[in-house]
């Protein structure tokens, strides 16, 4: 009995050590895969840290940006976007007919589906009717009244009411489906066979592995803009930490890279592109609960938080300071003339004192024998824990006691939605696209939206800008929205992180103006893959590479375990 116990103790040493080793080693084992190219064939490989984004059919992919991007290689929309704005896709040109509140689209006549059938206006009309009936996460077409086929290559789309975001949110987001295949499909999300992948796009899918998170596309020879110069397009799963190494070793051609590796990646001759302002991290404030229900109190919070420090420390400078109006300075709709809430802890204290709080010797504000204490919840994602830690310290310095809790991501979302929180850190993208996103993130009920409907004037303006067809006037309304939003402050935008992509220059990948489709800030626009340049700098894998991180610590720990084991052996004999 005792003897057994003894062994248990010794083995626990080993277990501890093994655990530490596997901990250090485990994450360094990243998957990467790069087949050797067949003679003359151009293969372009893109790394992704998640891997699987669902079956790339219009209704089968996961409702997130990368899922849409994987679908967009196979399917086309009526209108598309590049670095400058809208460009023709399936529609050669379009016009808005004011009297009828309708859009007229003239379609290309040289388009065929992947199965050889001709593409016509019937397919477009069918898609609109079909998606109205089966809305996807991206498009619901609520604004569309009816679709009329004028001739084989002309369609007219009537809107129910004036709806400004139509071109961006619907026409350049809705993937056009082949009528001859989808007309019999009752449940689009369960339609996941090969037929569901017949589109008009530049690529066809030949292989998809859910378990490995890989996608393989081949070029569509009959694409209406000509055959893409990339013969095979591949997505492979590579962990975020290994992405830069994989790129520098030539295992992948393009990947998102951590900010800390930008200098090194750049130094080895790779192109690094970056983008910020399409995504924001924000402090969610429970405006339904005392004391945050007071507007002034929310102002005090904003004054007590030093957003510059968050950028400098939590994001190590790879971000832009948040604007209280939500939209970033990079947005064409940005309004610089709003309340800025520049860091001013004294002002925060003054506001708190005017609210009846008294500063006590413990350094915190008290009211009615109760300390001013708030709970800040966050999730272990995108460096949010560090942000929370810093905000808790800053608010503490202003006399507001804050306890921080890190929750699982989905728990965080559900607590925000059910308003069981004081403060929370969350975030969302899409703010580089059409300002219709504001309606979603101010009025909506999501884990990342303010869920704020108390301000009548804000509600009216949010409704108004959707129906304002004059671009300039719409801009004015959106600017006004930012102003009121900043004053009401139902949530505070903290910063816009900067994202980096590194690539070898063989394909000029770029960020789309306003994001792909509804505003996806990923630089994988299908149009970029039409052209292939011979590699400017072929990154030869160097033999003198540093060993894989995690290897050296593993060795040192192995030595340590061996010593412990030897001691044990010596004791035994």
Partner 1 sequence: MHINYWKELKKNSFGKIGLAMLILVLIIAGLFPLLTRYDPGEPSHSALNPPSSEHWLGTNDVGQDIWSRLIYGARNSLLVALGVGLFTTLISTVAGASAALAGGLYERIMMRMVDALIAIPAFIVIILVAAYVLPNVWTLIFLISILTWQGGARIVRAQTLSLKERMHVYAARTFGANKRYISTRHIIPELGPILVAIFIHSATRGVFMEAGLAFLGIADISTVSWGLMMHYALKFYYLEVWKWWLLPTGLALSVTIMAFVFIGHAFETAMDPRLRVMEGEDWQC
Residues that bind partner 1 (CB under 8 A): 2-3, 5-6, 9-10, 12-13, 16-17, 20, 23-24, 27-28, 241-242, 244-245, 258, 260-261, 313-314, 316, 375, 380, 383, 385-386, 388-390, 392-393, 403-408, 411, 549-550, 552-553, 556-557, 560, 564, 567, 571
| Range list of H helices, 55-105 | 65-72
Determine how β-strand 280-285 pairs with β-strand 319-321.
unpaired
Min. distance of Cβ 221 from partner 1 in angstroms? Answer: 40
| Range list of H helices, 64-120 | 65-72
In the complex with partner 1, the residue whose CB is nearer, 128 or 270, is 270
In the complex with partner 1, the residue whose CB is nearer, 206 or 559, is 559
Min. distance of Cβ 313 from partner 1 in angstroms? Answer: 5
Min. distance of Cβ 570 from partner 1 in angstroms? Answer: 8
DSSP character string of 207-276 = EEETTTTEEEEEE-TT-TT---S-SEEEEEE--TTTHHHHHHTTS-SEEEE-GGGHHHHHHTT-EEEEEE
Min. distance of Cβ 281 from partner 1 in angstroms? Answer: 15
* Long-range contacts at 538-546 (CB < 8 A, ≥ 24 apart): 538/250, 539/247, 539/248, 539/249, 539/250, 539/268, 539/269, 539/270, 539/504, 540/250, 541/249, 541/250, 545/249
Distance in angstroms (rounded) separating the CA atoms of residues 268 and 537: 9
In the complex with partner 1, the residue whose CB is nearer, 20 or 43, is 20
Cα-Cα-Cα-Cα dihedral sign, residues 471, 474, 478, 483 = positive
In the complex with partner 1, the residue whose CB is nearer, 152 or 408, is 408
Min. distance of Cβ 250 from partner 1 in angstroms? Answer: 17
Please name which of 45, 46, 68 lies closest in space to residue 58, comparing C-alpha atoms: 68
Please name which of 213, 256, 258, 319 lies closest in space to residue 549, comparing C-alpha atoms: 258
Min. distance of Cβ 413 from partner 1 in angstroms? Answer: 13
Min. distance of Cβ 268 from partner 1 in angstroms? Answer: 15
Distance in angstroms (rounded) separating the CA atoms of residues 438 and 224: 36
Q: Is the separation of the CB atoms in 304 and 522 below 8 Å?
A: no
In the complex with partner 1, the residue whose CB is nearer, 275 or 378, is 378
Min. distance of Cβ 63 from partner 1 in angstroms? Answer: 26
In the complex with partner 1, the residue whose CB is nearer, 2 or 186, is 2
Torsion angle, alpha carbons of 143, 147, 150, 154, to 10: 60
In the complex with partner 1, the residue whose CB is nearer, 135 or 549, is 549
Tokens encoding 129: 């009717």
In the complex with partner 1, the residue whose CB is nearer, 390 or 522, is 390
In the complex with partner 1, the residue whose CB is nearer, 27 or 439, is 27
Q: Is the separation of the CB atoms in 21 and 557 below 8 Å?
A: yes
Q: Which residues contact 411 (CB under 8 A, 6 or more apart)?
A: 379
Please name which of 158, 54, 139, 149 lies closest in space to residue 98, comparing C-alpha atoms: 158
In the complex with partner 1, the residue whose CB is nearer, 354 or 420, is 420
Min. distance of Cβ 214 from partner 1 in angstroms? Answer: 22
Min. distance of Cβ 453 from partner 1 in angstroms? Answer: 29
Distance in angstroms (rounded) separating the CA atoms of residues 109 and 515: 28
């Amino acid at each position: 009995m005792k003897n057994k116990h003894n062994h248990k103790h010794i083995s626990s040493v080993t277990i501890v050590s093994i655990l530490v080793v596997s901990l250090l080693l485990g994450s360094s084992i990243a998957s990467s895969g790069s087949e050797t190219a067949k003679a003359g064939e151009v293969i372009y490989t893109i790394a992704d840290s998640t891997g699987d984004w669902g079956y790339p059919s219009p209704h089968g992919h996961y409702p997130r940006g990368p899922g849409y991007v994987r679908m967009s290689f196979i399917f086309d929309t009526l209108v598309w976007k590049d670095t400058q704005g809208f460009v023709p896709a399936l529609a050669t040109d379009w016009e808005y007919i004011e009297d009828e509140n309708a859009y007229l689209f003239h379609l290309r006549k040289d388009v065929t589906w992947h199965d050889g059938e001709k593409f016509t206006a019937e397919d477009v009309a069918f898609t609109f009717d079909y998606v109205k009936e089966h809305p996807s996460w991206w498009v619901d077409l609520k604004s569309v009244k009816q679709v009329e086929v004028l001739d084989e290559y002309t369609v007219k789309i009537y809107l129910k009411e004036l709806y400004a975001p139509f071109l961006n949110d619907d026409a350049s987001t809705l993937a056009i489906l082949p009528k001859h295949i989808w007309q019999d499909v009752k449940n689009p999300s369960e339609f996941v066979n090969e037929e569901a992948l017949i589109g008009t796009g530049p690529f066809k899918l030949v292989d998809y592995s859910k378990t490995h998170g890989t996608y393989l596309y081949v070029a569509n020879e009959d694409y209406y803009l000509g055959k893409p110069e990339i013969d095979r397009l591949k997505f492979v799963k590579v962990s975020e930490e290994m992405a830069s190494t994989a790129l520098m070793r030539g295992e992948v051609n393009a990947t998102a890279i951590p900010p800390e590796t930008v200098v090194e990646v750049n130094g080895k001759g790779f192109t690094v592109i970056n983008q910020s302002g399409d995504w924001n991290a924000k402090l969610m404030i429970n405006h339904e609960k005392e004391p945050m229900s007071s507007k002034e109190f929310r102002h005090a919070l904003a004054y007590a938080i030093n957003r510059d420090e968050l950028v400098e420390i939590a994001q190590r400078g790879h971000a832009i300071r948040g604007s209280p109006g939500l939209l970033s300075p990079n947005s064409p709709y940005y309004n610089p003339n709003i309340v800025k809430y520049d860091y001013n802890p004294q002002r925060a204290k003054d506001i708190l004192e005017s609210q009846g709080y008294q500063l006590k010797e413990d350094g915190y504000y008290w009211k009615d024998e109760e300390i001013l204490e708030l709970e800040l919840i966050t999730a272990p994602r995108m460096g949010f824990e560090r942000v929370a830690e810093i905000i808790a310290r800053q608010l503490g310095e202003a006399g507001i006691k804050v306890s921080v809790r890190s929750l699982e991501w989905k728990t965080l979302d559900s607590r925000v939605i059910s308003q069981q929180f004081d403060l929370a850190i969350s975030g969302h993208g899409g703010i580089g696209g059409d300002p219709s996103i504001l309606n979603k993130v101010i009025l909506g009920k999501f884990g990342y939206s303010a869920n704020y409907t108390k301000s009548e004037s804000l509600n009216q303006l949010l409704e108004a800008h959707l129906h304002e067809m004059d671009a300039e006037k719409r801009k004015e309304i959106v600017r006004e929205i930012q102003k009121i939003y900043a004053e009401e402050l139902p949530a505070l935008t903290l910063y816009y992180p900067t994202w980096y992509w590194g690539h070898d220059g063989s394909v000029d990948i770029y960020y789309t103006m306003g994001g792909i489709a509804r505003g996806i800030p990923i630089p994988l626009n299908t149009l970029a893959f039409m052209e292939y340049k011979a590699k400017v700098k072929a990154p030869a894998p160097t033999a003198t590479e540093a060993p894989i991180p995690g290897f050296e610590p593993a060795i040192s720990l192995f030595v340590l375990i061996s010593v412990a084991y030897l001691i044990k052996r010596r004791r035994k004999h």
